[in-house]
């Protein structure tokens, strides 16, 4: 790892003021390995781990707010999350391994937008709002491609707001070595509207599967997805699985998310 300067931020304002050309450090379970491999070499690290105003979970009866530095383990075990959106707590409990969940944070995952990460699918399916130090960004406007988001330089995610849904579920097929999603499908239903988000597969990162949304809005059962397929042309192929294999898995995982 190359040398860098380190600043332990005391507040959101202090963090934003201090970051300059540097990087924010949340749980560090992507950034630190990336720096160790010298794939990233920020000259300055602004550490968010002591910023108290970035931690915690709350719910107002209609919207669940998860502050950015809330760790996966805390989302998994939070009674507030379990009551508001139980499927989100379950999703958090399936990220990585226990040690990763003890460190990794929701803000870090959503800011990084790894194409195989789990949270982006939940954020997109639940039509969440990404709250930053300077504005509010709708999920549909936030994800811009592999490791790419609408965030500006120095912009800091402070919280993510999840409107409650009538139902939310997530099913993923994990790579057995990395534990990342080969394919993950999140399905949220609210009133007559259904949103289906797919992670792990898209050649442009997380995406909404509109055809499945239409079918499920008309008939909210696994059987409604019969015969529906995603074209492999918009799906990633790599050594872990071909585009055709992943495209097939999307349909299978969508049905599993529907309880099939």
Partner 1 sequence: MTKVSMTVNGKAVSAEIEPRTLLVQFLRDHLRLTGTHVGCDTSQCGACMVHVDGRAVKSCTTLAVTVDGSHVTTIEGLAKGDKLHPMQEAFREHHGLQCGFCTPGMIMSAVDIVNRKGHNLDEATIRHELEGNICRCTGYHNIVKAIADGAKHMASTPAE
* 108 is a contact residue toward partner 1 (CB under 8 A): no
Residue 52 interacting with partner 1 (CB under 8 A): no
Report the nearest approach of partner 1 to the CB of residue 100 (Å): 7
Supply 135's token pair: 């504005």
Pair type for strands 207-208 and 193-199: antiparallel
The residue from 55, 90, 103, 248 that contacts partner 1 (CB under 8 A) is 103
By CB under 8 A, residue 189 contacts partner 1: no
Binding status of residue 99 toward partner 1 by CB under 8 A: yes
Which of 64, 61, 88 lies closest to 75, judged by CA? 88
Position 45 contacts partner 1 (CB under 8 A): yes
Does 102 bind partner 1 (CB under 8 A)? Our answer is yes
- Least distance between partner 1 and beta carbon 231 (Å): 33
Choice between 41 and 218, CB closer to partner 1: 41
The distance of closest approach from Cβ of residue 23 to partner 1 in the complex, given in angstroms and rounded to an integer, is: 12
Select the residue interacting with partner 1 from 38, 62, 97, 192 (CB under 8 A). 97
Q: State the Cα–Cα distance between residues 125 and 115, nearest whole angstrom.
A: 15
Q: How far apart are CA 88 and CA 40, in angstroms?
A: 30
Nearest to 227 by CA among 197, 193, 254, 196: 254
Give the separation between CA 169 and CA 85, rounded to whole angstroms: 9
| Contact range with partner 1 by CB under 8 A, out of 31-39, 105-113, 127-135, 199-207 | 31-39
Q: Please, what's the largest Cα pairwise distance for the chain?
A: 56
- How are strands ordered across the β-sheet holding 129-132? 57-59, 63-67, 157-163, 129-132, 136-138
Is residue 120 part of the contact set for partner 1 (CB under 8 A)?
no
Interface ranges with partner 1 (CB under 8 A): 1-6, 8, 25, 28-29, 32-33, 35-36, 45, 47, 49-50, 73, 96-100, 102-103, 177-179
């Amino acid at each position: 790892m190359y040398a860098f300067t380190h600043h332990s931020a005391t507040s959101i304002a202090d963090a934003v003021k201090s970051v300059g050309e540097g990087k924010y450090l949340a749980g560090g379970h992507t950034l630190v390995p990336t720096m160790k491999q010298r794939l990233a070499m920020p000259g300055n690290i602004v550490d968010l781990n002591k910023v108290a105003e970035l931690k915690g979970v709350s719910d107002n009866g209609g919207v669940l707010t998860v502050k950015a530095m809330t760790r996966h383990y805390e989302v998994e075990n939070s009674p507030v999350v379990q009551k508001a959106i139980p499927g989100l707590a379950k999703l958090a409990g399936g990220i990585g391994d226990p040690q990763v969940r003890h460190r990794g944070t929701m803000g870090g995952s959503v800011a990084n937008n790894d194409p195989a990460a789990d949270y982006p699918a939940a954020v997109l399916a639940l039509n969440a709002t990404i709250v930053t130090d300077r504005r509010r960004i709708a999920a549909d406007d936030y994800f811009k491609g592999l490791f790419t988001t609408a965030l500006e330089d120095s912009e800091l995610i402070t919280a993510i707001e999840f409107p409650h849904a009538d139902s939310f579920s997530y099913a993923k097929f994990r790579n057995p070595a990395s534990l990342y999603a080969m394919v993950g499908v999140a399905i949220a239903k609210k009133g007559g509207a259904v949103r289906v988000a797919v992670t792990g597969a898209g050649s442009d990162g997380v995406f909404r599967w509109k055809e499945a949304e239409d079918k499920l809005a008309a008939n909210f059962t696994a059987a409604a997805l019969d015969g529906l397929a995603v074209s492999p042309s918009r799906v990633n192929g790599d050594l872990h699985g071909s585009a055709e294999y992943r495209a097939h898995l999307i349909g299978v995982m969508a049905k599993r998310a529907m309880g099939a």
